Chains A and B, each alone.
Chain A
C-alpha cells in the first residue's frame, strides 16, 4: 500500500479545518492525509486526486465537480471490512475521520485503467439514449446476462454481506416551525421563531450549521459572516425550545407537513458507532417530524454550463471552488479559467486569486458585465473575456486547456475564432437553481421565474420558502427574508413573532445575469464532442436533442428515455439545463416544457435509518398467550397465526430422536380421539357484548337466529358481509339476558370488533349495546377427548353430568380453585370442555390439569393437530376454506341461515342475487384421494377431465388437506364447481411434477358423521 503525506493543493492557512489534527485515510488502496473538518472530497482534492470515478454509461474518468449534496460523480463505497460496507456515499458529504477507507464506486478493474472506457472513447453513436432498451432487451432471456456485465462495468455500489454491527432508531418530533437549511435565511428564521418562544427544529445536511455563511466573502456587522453564524448557532443552542440538528438531511416531505430527517449521528466519527459508557451509540436516526409550519431555507444549487468536454476532471462549478478554498483551505488546481453568465460567480476567481494561484481568465457570456465584483476582478488585473464562453474543455484525465470563443447565446452559435487557453481547472456558472426538491415532494409544481432564471417553488398551505430557495440570492435579502417568512409562519399558527435585529450586510451591486445553459460549439450538438447535462447518469445534450427528434416532447418522457435526473442524483445539477436544451430543440420556452417531479428521497438514506429498531426480534410484534412459557419449556414448535405465536405441535424426543412433525401430529391426533388432549385456544378473539339490544344486534349481524338462546347456552354463528360472503365464524354464549360472549377466529378478532362497531355506529346507533374486547382477559384451554370429563371432574366443582351440562351449554364454577367459565363446545368432534379463566391464573390451571392428567394420557396438541381433527369433522376455518367469495350456502351450511328472521340481517339480500343463486358456484366438498397415501397439496387446482387440452378448465381447488391417522388416509376439503351435486364423482389434480392425482368427491365429514362422539 502506498502512502502520500503531502497535500499539494492545501493552502498554508485559511479554512475551517483543524490543522493540528491530522487524519489519515485510504482511498482506492492508497493512504492519504487530511485534517479534522475536511470532507472526504476536500481531502482528496487537497491530495491532488483528480479521477474519482468512471462514468455510469461511457466509463469516462470523472472528478469532483461540486462541494455538497449535488455532487454527481464522487460516489464512494465506504468500509474497511465487510460488515461496514456502505455504498453510494457522496465524498462531498462524508466527513473525514481517522482510518476512513473508501473506494470509488465505479471503475473496473480500477478508475485509472478502466475496461469499459473503450466504450466511452468510441463515442455517443454507439450508445444513444434508449441504448439499453434498444440493445439489451431482446432476447428477453438474455437480459440477466447483459445485466451482470453492465452492472459490473457501471458499478452501482454494493451492500454488505455481513450483519451490520450498528443500531439505528427513529425519533418522533413535533414542532411549531421546522426550518430546513441553516444558512443566512434559515438562521434568521430560526432566531426569529426561537425568540418568540415557538418550538423550533433547525436542521442542515452539512457537518456544521451556517450554510453559505461558512465560506462567504462578505461581512456581517463588519465581521466575517461565519462569525455571525457561530454566534447565532450558539444562541439557538441555549434555547430549550429549539432542537438543532446538524448532519441531518431533510429527505422527504410527506403529507400534512410530515417530514423525514435523516441524522447521521456518528458517521463523522468512524465507520461504526463508538461505545460510550458501555453503550453503543446509535449510528443514524430518522426523525419523523410533524411540523405545524415548514420553512424551506434550502438554498440554491449552482448550474454548471454545458460545454464540450465538461466532464473531464478539473471542471467544477464555480461556487464549489470558493467553498473548497474558503472552507477547507484547498485550491483544486493551479490555473483557472472561469466561465460565467452572472456576477455572483466572480467570487471564485477572487478567491482563487487570493489563494495565490493563477486566474488565466474570466470568460463572461455577457457583452458588458459591470457589477461590483466584475470591477473588483478588473482592478486585480484579471483578464475578462466578454461576450464569450468556454466552448470546449481539452484533456483526458485532467483539464489541460479551455477553448474559448465569442458566442451568440440567443442564436446558439459560435461567432468568433476559438482561442485555447492553457489551464488545469475550468469553473463554470450558468446561474443558480433554487433547491425546490422538498417543495416538489408536496405535489406543488414549481414556477419559472425569468428574473432569476430559475424555477421557484410553489408552496402548499403551511410551507414557506426563504432566501436562495426562492431566488433571493443576496445576503442581506436572504437574512431579511428568513425573518419575514418565519413571522408569517408563526402568524399562520395563530402566534406572533417580533422582528429581530438582523446583522448589517453590505449590499453588493450585481449586474443582470444572462440566460446561458448549453454553450454552442462550432459543430452541431449531435456531432460535437460530448456535452454532458447529467454527469451521474451520463446524459448528454445530444441525447436530449435526439430524444426530441425521436418524438419525445414531454419533459417527463425525455427524462425517462434518457435517464436524466434518475437515481440518487435527482437532477440536482442537470435538470434545468436538460429542460433548457429540450426547450431549444422543441422551439419552446423552459416554462412551456415544464419541469419533472422530484421525489423523495433527496439524497440516499440507509436502510438502517429507515428500519430503525423495527428489526430482528423487534421486526413485528409477537403476541404470546399466558401459557407461552410452558409451551417453550415443553419443546413446542411455533406457528405464526397473525402476530400470535401458537404452538404448532409438541415433538417428543424418544431415545434421543426428535419426532418429525408428521409423527408428532399423528400421536397428538390419536391421543385426542382415544384419550384426552389439551389445546391452548387463548388466541381466539373474545368480545364481551352487553346491553338490552345485544340479542337484537346478534340477530342482525349473524346469519342464524339468536332470539331464543337462553342464558347458559352457546351457539355457533356465521357472519357475512353484506355481499353474502362469509367473513368469520365462532360461537357466542348467552351469559345473561343482556350479556353475551362472542368468540371469533384468531386472525379475525380485530376485524370483527371493528365490524361490529361499524354497524352499530353507522347503521344502528339506536341499538343499546356495547362491545369490549376481552381476548387478553381470558385464557382458554380446550380439554378434549373421551377422558376429558373424568380429568376435569377431578379439579372442578361444576357438575359435569351429561344431562346437567349438555353439549353447547356453558357453566360457571371453579377449576383448580380458579373461577372459570366452562363451555361444552367442540372443534375436534370429541367430548370437549373449553375452560376460560382470567389469564393471570391460567398457568396454575394448566399445570394442575397436567398434574391430574398424566394417568389419562393428557397430551398437549398444537394447531396442526387441531386442523387435522377439525377437518376430519368438516369444520371450516374462515379464511382458509373461504376466501371472501364463498357464501354459507356454498359451504353447505343452510342450517345456519335464518331465512325467516324478521330483519334483513347482514348478507341476506345478497343471497338472492343471481350470482349467488348460480348452481355452478364453487361449493365445499370433501375429497378422498384414490391413493390413500397421497396428501393433496393445499391450493392444488382441480379439473374434471385430465385429458383436456391445455389450458384445462379449472373447476376448483383444495382448501385444506391432511393425513388422517384415524382414517389412515389422506383427505381434503375443496371447493368444486357444482360440487354438492357431484358426490361420488372423480376429479383430477394435475401437479407441477407432471403427476395427476385422482380423488373422489365425498361429504365434508370424514369422522363420526352423526356427531355422537362429542355428545356423550
Chain B
C-alpha cells in the first residue's frame, strides 16, 4: 500500500485491545426467551458461532480473487450463490453479488485480514467493510432442520436445489438473512443484529414441534 492510498480509506480496528464485556446480537434473546435444552428428542439443534469476524468485500472478481488467494490460501467462489472454505471450515468466502462477497473468519482475525487484503490489493479500487458487530452466525442441524427451513423461507432447500456449498441471501419469515449449507448435515444462517431476536423467536416457535434445543 502506497502512502497515498493509506489516506484513501479509514482502516480501523473496531475490536478493543483489552478485555471488555461483549454481547452477541442474541444476548438479549437468550436472556429473555431462554435456551431450550438439547435433549434426546431434539430433532433440530441450534448453535451460535458468535463474535466471528465478518468482512464485506466489494470490487472486481479477478483482482479480489488473487488477493484472497494470497492472503487466505483459497479463492473466491466461482459461481453465483456459492461459497468456498478453508480446510478447517472456519474461514469462508461467499458470493453475495457479482461484485460483493462475505468473508467470515474466526473472531479477532478480521482486522489483520483487512490490512493484509488492502496491502495485497494495492491501488485496486475495492472496498472492504468490517461488519462483525452487525451480524452473527447460527447453525442448524438435525433431521428436521430442513423442514424448519421450509416453514420459514420460500427458497427451495431440497438437496437437489440446495447442494452443499451453496449460499443465498433470501427471505426468512418476514425478514431476510443469508442461508448457507457448508456441509451435508449443517445449515448456517447469518442474521442481521437488529433482526436476530425476531428470527431467534421465530426459529424456536417453528422448531417447537421438533423439540428444538439450543447448544451453549
Known contacts A613-B205, A625-B194, A691-B127, A812 near B12 by CB under 8 Å? yes
Minimum distance in angstroms from B78 CB to a CB of chain A? 21
A626 touches B21 (CB 8 A): no
Interface assignment of B74: CB less than 8 Å from any CB of chain A: no
Known contacts A288-B154, A618-B202, A772-B56, A739 near B8 by CB under 8 Å? yes
A841 touches B20 (CB 8 A): yes
Known contacts A618-B201, A690-B58, A199 near B23 by CB under 8 Å? no
Q: Which residues of B contact A626 (CB under 8 A)?
A: 23, 25, 133, 193
- In the assembled complex, the Cα of A621 lies from the Cα of B200 at a distance in Å of 11
Minimum distance in angstroms from B176 CB to a CB of chain A? 10
Contact among B23, B27, B158 for A174, CB-based, below 8 A: B158
Q: Which of A718-777 contact B (CB under 8 A)?
A: 735-739, 768, 770, 772, 774-777
Q: Which residues of B contact A777 (CB under 8 A)?
A: 14, 129-134, 193
Closest A residue by C-beta to B196: A624
Q: Which residues of B contact A173 (CB under 8 A)?
A: 150
A171 touches B150 (CB 8 A): yes
Minimum distance in angstroms from A634 CB to a CB of chain B? 14
A614 touches B173 (CB 8 A): yes
- In the assembled complex, the Cα of A378 lies from the Cα of B25 at a distance in Å of 80
Contact among A171, A644, A692, A739 for B10, CB-based, below 8 A: A739
B205 touches A772 (CB 8 A): no
Stretch at the interface among A295-303, A362-370, A416-424, A832-840: A832-840
- In the assembled complex, the Cα of A626 lies from the Cα of B150 at a distance in Å of 29
Closest B residue by C-beta to A839: B133
Q: Which residues of A contact B79 (CB under 8 A)?
A: none
Q: Interface size (A, Cβ < 8 Å)?
A: 63
Interface assignment of A640: CB less than 8 Å from any CB of chain B: no
A844 touches B211 (CB 8 A): no
Chain A 825-850 near chain B by CB (<8 Å), digits 1 or 0? 00000000000011111111000000
- How many A-B residue pairs have C-beta atoms within 8 angstroms? Tell me: 177
Minimum distance in angstroms from B56 CB to a CB of chain A? 5
Q: Which residues of B contact A639 (CB under 8 A)?
A: none
A839 touches B25 (CB 8 A): yes
Minimum distance in angstroms from A258 CB to a CB of chain B? 9
Contact among B14, B58, B197 for A772, CB-based, below 8 A: B58
- In the assembled complex, the Cα of A711 lies from the Cα of B8 at a distance in Å of 10
Contact among A628, A691, A821, A837 for B28, CB-based, below 8 A: A628
- In the assembled complex, the Cα of A540 lies from the Cα of B162 at a distance in Å of 55
- In the assembled complex, the Cα of A690 lies from the Cα of B58 at a distance in Å of 9
Chain B 145-162 near chain A by CB (<8 Å), digits 1 or 0? 001001111111010110
Q: Which residues of A contact B51 (CB under 8 A)?
A: 840
B154 touches A617 (CB 8 A): no
Which residue, of A279, A621, A683, has the highest number of chain B Cβ atoms within 10 A? A621
Minimum distance in angstroms from B143 CB to a CB of chain A? 14
Interface assignment of B215: CB less than 8 Å from any CB of chain A: no
- In the assembled complex, the Cα of A153 lies from the Cα of B147 at a distance in Å of 46
Minimum distance in angstroms from B87 CB to a CB of chain A? 28
Closest B residue by C-beta to A847: B21
- In the assembled complex, the Cα of A774 lies from the Cα of B56 at a distance in Å of 10
23 chain-A/chain-B pairs, Cβ below 8 angstroms: A169-B206, A171-B150, A172-B153, A174-B158, A279-B211, A290-B156, A621-B174, A623-B195, A629-B31, A644-B194, A711-B10, A735-B9, A736-B7, A768-B125, A776-B133, A776-B134, A776-B135, A777-B14, A812-B10, A819-B12, A839-B134, A840-B25, A842-B23
Interface residues, chain A, CB within 8 Å of chain B? 169-174, 199, 277, 279-282, 288, 290, 613-614, 617-618, 620-626, 628-629, 644, 683, 688, 690-692, 711, 735-739, 768, 770, 772, 774-779, 812, 814, 816-819, 821, 837-844
Besides the contacts A738-B9, A772-B58, what 10 more A-B pairs have beta carbons closer than 8 Å? A288-B154, A614-B174, A620-B174, A623-B194, A690-B127, A692-B125, A737-B7, A737-B8, A774-B131, A841-B16
Which 8 A-B pairs rank lowest in CB-CB distance, beginning with the nearest?
A776-B134, A777-B134, A838-B133, A735-B10, A690-B127, A623-B194, A838-B14, A776-B193
